[in-house]
Amino acid sequence: MRAFYEDGLLEKLREGDAISVFGSDVVVKPIPDLQDKGVLDPREFELAKKTLAARTALNPSIENLRQETGFPNINLNTVEIITKVTPLEWNGIGFSLWSYAPRKPFGKKDRKAVIYMHGGSYFAGSVYGEENPLKYLAEKGDCVVFNVDYSLAPEFPFPIALEQLGVALKYVKEHAEELGIDAGQIYLSGDSAGGNIVLGYCTQEDAIKVAGLILFYPATALAFDVLPFEWKESDYEMDPAYKPYIVPRLVLGRSDGNIGPLPRLISSVYLRHGEPLTDVRVSPLFADPKCFPRTLLFTSEYDGLRIQGEYFAAKLNKSGVDCRCIRYSGVHHAFLDKFGYFPQAEDAILESARFMVEK
């Protein structure tokens, strides 16, 4: 078997139905092998049943969360992908820029490029977490994908990751010819906290302009107490039998008075110098939307960050910035980690490849 699901399930994810959310279209893709509402995808449900007790008992310390972050996904490439690692530096702090590119045709020029920032609450995760989906994107998008091994908080707090992204982008743009890429076709991408870093970078006056953004369930605001919309658990349709496996995973993005310790921990670890949570580099939801380029934004039905992500997408569209928003039904936050196990993860990569050829 190529992946841990039949190819027919992937085909069923090819299309979705558009609904209006905050006055803007969101394409909702179904659970490919279930018609029921308010339920988890069968693959997500099996994983949730196995991990519920462990998640409930987990002490949300930095070390425990670093160990817990990620999932052992698999490689679906059908062509050879060349991996290179380039050392970079910002203000005396070294970090690495990984790259993935199809080997054939050898020496091809003017490929598109994607620069990716991984998730992990700013203090966890690594370049290895999304290496397989990024290599697949390099194949399906016939592009060069760069994976930034940025420095993690609390040892390296805000705004170091944003600055390192800027260094990586400048390097790729200035070395475009030797890297075999088109300097005018560079995209920024990231998941969760990595998506937040990408958006935060774009709000800066000296940010290098890019062709577009590809964001997977990004955190668009850490300022939960002053969001311009009401977050309600009742906005998440839940069958009673599935609710015990859904509610514990809505911890991120809540602003309903039931904010748990994890969001507070994330903010305190990332922001070490008294930066306000409303700083647009931290909460880009409050920025002028015209500072962002055309965007592809993915959300998960059972992710606490879904509502702010879809609000952000609507804000971009209403301002005239093209934003295609896709919601996957029945899955939690971080579905991209399950690449090769969840068809939604592969579909999202295929959508990303298509986005880069659309105008």
Tens-place pLDDT, residues 202-212: 999 999 999 99
217 within 8 A of 300, measured Cβ to Cβ: yes
Is 58 within the bounds of a domain?
Answer: yes
Burial of residue 8 (number of CB atoms within 10 Å: 0-12, 13-18, 19+): exposed
Tens-place pLDDT, residues 272-309: 999 999 999 999 999 999 999 999 999 999 999 999 99
Is 270 within the bounds of a domain?
Answer: yes
Q: What is the DSSP letter of 339?
A: B
- The answer, yes or no, to whether residue 1 has pLDDT greater than 70, is no
Q: Which amino acid is at 75?
A: N
- The answer, yes or no, to whether residue 196 has pLDDT greater than 90, is yes
Give the pTM.
Answer: 0.97
User: 8 by DSSP, 3-state: which?
Assistant: helix
Q: Annotate 149-191 with DSSP letters as a single string.
A: EPPPTTTS-TTHHHHHHHHHHHHHHHTHHHHTEEEEEEEEEEE
Is 73 within the bounds of a domain?
Answer: yes
Would you call the peptide bond into 159 cis, given omega within 30 degrees of 0 as the criterion?
yes
Give the tokens for residue 84.
Answer: 């290179």
Residue 146 sits in a domain of what CATH number? 3.40.50.1820
Residue 28 CA, chain-centre distance (Å), reads 17
Residue ranges making up the domain that contains 230? 7-355
Is 2 within the bounds of a domain?
Answer: no
3-state DSSP percent of the chain in helix, strand and coil, to 5: 35, 25, 40
Is 207 within the bounds of a domain?
Answer: yes
Is 150 within the bounds of a domain?
Answer: yes
Mean pLDDT, residues 220-240: 95
Q: How many residues does the chain have?
A: 359
Q: Which amino acid is at 35?
A: Q
Is 1 within the bounds of a domain?
Answer: no
143-149 vs 212-216, strand pairing mode: unpaired
User: Average per-residue pLDDT in the chain?
Assistant: 96
Q: What's residue 204's pLDDT?
A: 98
Tens-place pLDDT, residues 17-59: 999 999 999 999 999 999 999 999 999 999 999 988 777 767 7
Partnered with residue 188 across adjacent β-strands are 115, 213
Tens-place pLDDT, residues 339-357: 999 999 999 999 999 999 9
Tens-place pLDDT, residues 116-164: 999 999 999 999 999 999 999 999 999 999 999 999 999 999 999 999 9
- The answer, yes or no, to whether residue 106 has pLDDT greater than 90, is no
pLDDT band at 249 (very low <50, low <70, confident <90, very high): very high
- The answer, yes or no, to whether residue 253 has pLDDT greater than 70, is yes
Is 213 within the bounds of a domain?
Answer: yes
User: 10 by DSSP, 3-state: which?
Assistant: helix
Tens-place pLDDT, residues 50-97: 988 777 767 778 988 898 899 999 999 999 999 999 999 999 999 999
Above pLDDT 70, what percent of the chain?
99
What is the rounded CA–CA span in Å between residue 79 and residue 140? 10
298 Cβ partners below 8 Å, 6+ apart? Answer: 215, 216, 217, 325, 326, 327, 328, 348, 351
- Sign (positive or negative) of CA dihedral 192, 202, 215, 98: negative
Give the tokens for residue 106.
Answer: 């050898």
207 within 8 A of 290, measured Cβ to Cβ: no
Of the candidate ranges 91-105, 117-131, 250-264, 314-328, the one whose mean pLDDT is the lowest: 250-264
Number of structural domains found in the chain:
1
CB half-sphere exposure, 248, CA atoms < 13 A: 13
